Amino acid sequence: MDYHDRTPPYMVVETCRDATVIITNKTPISAELIGQCPNLRLISVTATGYNIVDVAAAKANGVLVCNVPEYSTDSVAQHVFALLLELTNRTGRNARSVMNGDWSKAADWCYTTGPIMELRSKRMGIVGFGRIGKRVAEMAHAFGMEVVFFNKGKTSELAKAVSLEDLFSTCDVISLHCPLTPDNEGFVNAQLLARMKPSAILINTARGQLIREGELAIALKEGKLAAAALDVLSKEPPPADHSLIGLENCLVTPHNAWISQEARRRLLQTTLENIERFLEGRPQYVVG
């Protein structure tokens, strides 16, 4: 096995030309690349999302594509609530205030740097009700929240299915958990954001391209919604002048919802199993 920590685009074909199996995370596997790898039989994506692979081209060339669908469910759902609780309880901001000496100078025995919101009875809307969306729903119920979701064709005992417009109009917290497709790219736009309550919070731990980021920045500045918390952006790493970075009411973390040690161990173990099963003629987690 050859390991390459980072492969510049101009080196990808040369690196992969003789490979039987390609393991990739962020390096795109295009139709052109697949066509220049005559021995290729398996593309193993070390992630749940596989939009970096031209699956149709792989299938046309007799190449299987496998992913790892379940490794980060609990970690991502946990991160959703880490983001939400920071916005509602301001623990990080209040702790930094204490470190800066503000409590020592305070006139009263307690204070907060901003309003604190209780989650019980608030309405959580989940867009995309797969494994992670359902786990988020379970956690929201534990906080006493009402949960609704939008996912065409799905029903669930965990939550009530509603239209996308109703979800954005009525929810106090909206969390995105849908895969990126050509049909939903940029679906969170100015028109949809205008439906939100001025007190509402938008969370995205799915894909940055689901949101029109410039339009979200304007909505946040105009108070169309109270806050946003994002673990993903459309370009990663983002440019230093990104429109959402630095906004007082926008919390951004560096795509680390998935990155717990436990999740990474599951990711590597399942990737190893994907290759072993392929070699045994019993492939698993085949996509496309």
Q: Which of 90, 135, 177, 207 is catalytic?
A: 207
What does 97-162 look like in DSSP terms, one character per residue?
A: HHHTTTTTT-SSS---SS-----TTPEEEEE--SHHHHHHHHHHHHTT-EEEEE-TT---SSSEE-
Q: Which of 41, 255, 264, 277 is catalytic?
A: 255
What does the alpha-carbon distance between residue 49 and residue 285 come to, in Å, rounded to a whole number?
Answer: 12
Q: Which of 14, 236, 262, 276 is catalytic?
A: 236
Strand partners, 176: 127, 204
What does the alpha-carbon distance between residue 11 and residue 6 come to, in Å, rounded to a whole number?
Answer: 10
257 with 228: CB under 8 angstroms? no
207 labelled catalytic: yes
Sign, CA torsion 191/203/148/135? positive
165 labelled catalytic: no
Helix (H) or strand (E) run with residue 63 in it: none
Active site residues: 207, 236, 255
